[in-house]
Structures are given as C-alpha cells and as structure tokens.
Amino acid sequence: MDHVTQFRENGYAVVHNFLPPEDVAELVAALDRVKAEALKHHTTYRDHNVLFEVHTDPLLNERVCLQAHWTCWIDATMEAMRRHPRYLEILEPLLGCDIKHYANQIHWKPPGAKYTYYRYHQDIKFRSRPELFGDLDTGWVTTGLALNRQGGDNGALCVYPGTHRMGYLGLGEGATVMTGGSNEDELVKAGLDPDGMVQLELEPGDLVMWTLHTLHGSPPNTTDRDRLFLLNSYARAADSPTRGEWAFRDGQPVPLGATPEICKYEELLENPGPFYADDDWSEESLAGRIASNP
C-alpha cells in the first residue's frame, strides 16, 4: 500500500527512506546541540513554545533531557527541516498545500534512565480546546522521524491499527504518559487484543505517521544506545486560522515569523515565560500526583 492508503485504512503509515543519510546526520548533530543547551538548565524550562524537559534521573543520578519542544526557534537546522520538501510531498495528498505546524518535539530515551517508556494513549487527549482545531479526525497528521536504528529493545513506537476509528478510548487517564507506569492492562478492558499491537522496526531516516485517535505507546529502552525520535504535527491551515505556525502556504515552505504563535498550549497566552517548572520526578512526588488525579 502507498502511505496514503495505509494511513487511512490503518491509522498509521511508515515511509521508509524518508530522508537521505546526509539530512539525518545534520539532524543528529542538531540534537546534540539542543541537548547541550537544555542541560544548561537545572530543571524543566519554558520560554513561549520552547520547552526543555530536564530532571535528575533517579537511576542515573544525573540530569537528563527527555524531551525538547519547538527547538526550531533556537536551531537553524531544526527550523529548515520542519518545512523540508519531503514533508510537503507526503502531507499534501492528506492535508492540501496550505499546512500549519502545531507540535515540534525531540524525544530521547537515555540508556539506563528510569522513565524511557510511554503509556498507551491517543494524542487527542492533549487537545484541550478542540473547537480551535477544526477537523481532528482526518485533518491532522503527526509524524515521527527515526534518527537512529529503532526496535523493541530500545523503545521504538508501537501502534494499534484501526483504533483511529474507535473514538476516544480514555486510556492512560489519571497519570502522566511517561511516569504513570505500564497500562497494558487497560488494553483488554478497552476491548483490544494485545496481540494486535504492531512493534515498529525503523532505520535512520524512516518516518512513521499517525492520527490523533491512533492508539500508540512505546516500551522502555533496555539497551546501551539512545532512541532519537523527532516529532512534527501538521494540520490543514483552514481548519485552525488562529493557532499554529505556517509550514507551507500554496505549496511553498514558510519560515518562522518574528514571534512565536500559540500552537496548542492555551496557558501560554497568560504566562509565555521564560520560567522554570521545577518538576519533581521523585517517587514520592509522582505518587502524590497520581493519587490526586485518580
């Protein structure tokens, strides 16, 4: 199947060799620069859309960065790659030639770190103002680009085909995606066959794309190598005139403007930053967080 047919039928698609090795190498170097910048901060830091999720890992006993958001504002390679012509090539059959960009995230899974898994969830749970985003069923595409070899051992993405047709399943409520513990028991309760999960095997430069309703997660990294994954989420520009950064207009790439636009996080309207979140990922704090959000 081509990627459009696979995406519509299964709720996800894999595009092998999406980027050539030279582009992958540029992005890997950019991730190194971003991580070095992130680790200058003692804890989680936000400035408008830019976010460094930094904490002291309880197993490694050192600071790690697990995620970084919207680093295209601080790194030229990241900014250019978010509007790379290959993205338009795969997105235009699904979204048209006027496309906005709503999420830009780097995900690391540091070897030996405690929190290197993602509970099974649907991304629709993170759209607090769905009325601002138009067609959330067919007008939104999230992409994940593998920047190194990825499989079940180092925590590659897992997807459940067909779940994009099941509506919101409510899995993972009451706990954060990365710290709430495994929720595989919820799959059976939701009527899903655990054997229906697809464990992806990705080479550097491979791209996976999925919908807001596609159930997905990933196992922990049990190897001595990281998992380098770059997420970008896009939608039809006409569906959300007041949110998001332009990526392509009339089929042409659009660089970032002078100031950041609000993409998903409405709270940034009142508190754009910069500020520190002082996230506490200790066992005691996480237990209290979960208990207060049953």
Query: Residue 277 has what pLDDT?
Result: 87
Nearest to 145, CA basis, from 195, 209, 94:
209
Give the span between the Cα atoms of 112 and 84, in whole angstroms. 33
The full set of domains in the chain, from first to last, is 3-291 (2.60.120.620)
Token digits of residue 225: 């190598």
C-alpha distances out from residue 103 to 37, 125, 243, Å: 20, 14, 11
Spans of the chain below 70 pLDDT: 1, 174, 278-294
Nearest Cα to Cα of residue 229 among 119, 121, 116: 116
- In a 3-state reduction of DSSP, which class is residue 2? coil
CA 227 to each of CA 81, 146, 168: distance values in angstroms, whole numbers, following the listed order: 19, 8, 28
**What pLDDT was estimated at residue 52?**
97
- Residues with Cβ within 8 Å of 21's Cβ and at least 6 positions away in sequence, in order, are 204, 205
CA torsion sign, 152 to 165 to 170 to 206?
positive
Residue 66 region, left (φ>0) first, then alpha (ψ -120 to 50), else beta?
Answer: alpha
Question: 92: which residues sit within 8 A by CB, 6+ positions away?
Answer: 99, 251
Contact call for residues 240 and 132 (beta carbons, < 8 A): yes
Give the pLDDT confidence score for residue 292 in this predicted structure: 33
Query: Taking the CB of residue 230, how many other CB atoms lie within 10 A of it?
Result: 24
226 alpha carbon, distance to own chain's centre: 16
Q: What is the pLDDT of residues 216-233, one digit of tens each?
A: 999 999 999 999 999 999
Q: Match 């993972």 to its residue by tokens.
A: 172
**What is the pLDDT at residue 194?**
83
User: What strand order describes the sheet that includes 198-199?
Assistant: 118-121, 216-218, 158-159, 198-199
pLDDT in tens, 197-222: 999 999 999 999 999 999 999 999 99
The number of beta carbons lying within 10 Å of the beta carbon of residue 282 is 11
Whether pTM exceeds 0.85: yes
pLDDT at 288: 40
